[in-house]
């Protein structure tokens, strides 16, 4: 009688370990696909954010003194305001290969490039056809990922469009 009870416990533990091993293998195989899908979705959100910023800048261009406030949430990567090149650039490490390597593709007003990194680095550039400054200066400013949204004001200063972080 005791041998049968011991055998039941051994079988129960063995089957439980086999089940947990199978679940672990499934999760290990599925996790990269989930992360890839998350990064693909995030890239699409970044594209929408940059297009929204572009719309805000274009609405300010209509008259000197015009200004707009907008928020940017950086979940992954960094946003660079580059007055020297009059552009905004979003760079993020991604598990999703968005485009062919080292080939810049145009999507609307955006230029998107994927390069080999860990495993990929996706760069999304919004070129602006205007004289851009950051806080009145021609200096590059970088904003990194954070849990709260950055608050910006874009203002038409006559000949230039000025962006200022007011957080």
pLDDT at 165: 76
What pLDDT band is residue 21 in, cutting at 50, 70 and 90?
Answer: very high
8/49 Cα distance (integer angstroms)? 59
CB neighbourhood size of 54 (10 A): 17
* Residue pair 44/112 in contact by the 8 Å Cβ criterion: no
CA distances from 135 to 8, 84, 153 (A): 73, 13, 10
Alpha-helical runs (H) found in the chain: 2-60
93/74 Cα distance (integer angstroms)? 13
pLDDT at 65: 86
Read off the DSSP letter of residue 74. -
What pLDDT band is residue 61 in, cutting at 50, 70 and 90?
Answer: confident
Strands 105-107 and 110-116, how do they pair? antiparallel
Say what the pTM is.
0.81
What pLDDT band is residue 158 in, cutting at 50, 70 and 90?
Answer: confident
Q: Is the peptide bond before 61 cis (omega within 30 degrees of 0)?
A: no
Tokens of 101: 């390597």
52/72 Cα distance (integer angstroms)? 10
Tokens of 102: 């080292």
Mean pLDDT on 82-108: 92
Q: Where are the domains of the chain?
A: 2-165
41/66 Cα distance (integer angstroms)? 33
């Amino acid at each position: 009688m005791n041998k049968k009870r011991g055998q039941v416990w051994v079988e129960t533990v063995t089957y439980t370990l086999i089940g947990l091993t199978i679940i672990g293998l499934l999760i290990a195989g599925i996790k990269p696909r989930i992360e890839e899908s998350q990064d693909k979705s995030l890239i699409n959100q970044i594209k929408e954010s940059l297009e929204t910023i572009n719309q805000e800048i274009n609405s300010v261009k209509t008259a000197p003194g015009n200004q707009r406030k907008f928020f940017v949430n950086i979940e992954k990567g960094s946003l660079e305001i580059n007055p020297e090149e009059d552009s905004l650039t979003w760079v993020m490490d991604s598990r999703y290969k968005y485009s062919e390597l080292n080939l810049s593709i145009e999507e609307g007003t955006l230029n998107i490039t994927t390069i080999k990194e860990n495993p990929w680095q996706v760069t999304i550039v919004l070129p602006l056809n205007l004289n851009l400054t950051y806080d009145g200066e021609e200096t590059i400013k970088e904003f990194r990922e954070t849990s709260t949204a950055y608050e910006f004001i874009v203002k038409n200063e006559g000949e230039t469009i000025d962006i200022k972080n007011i957080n």
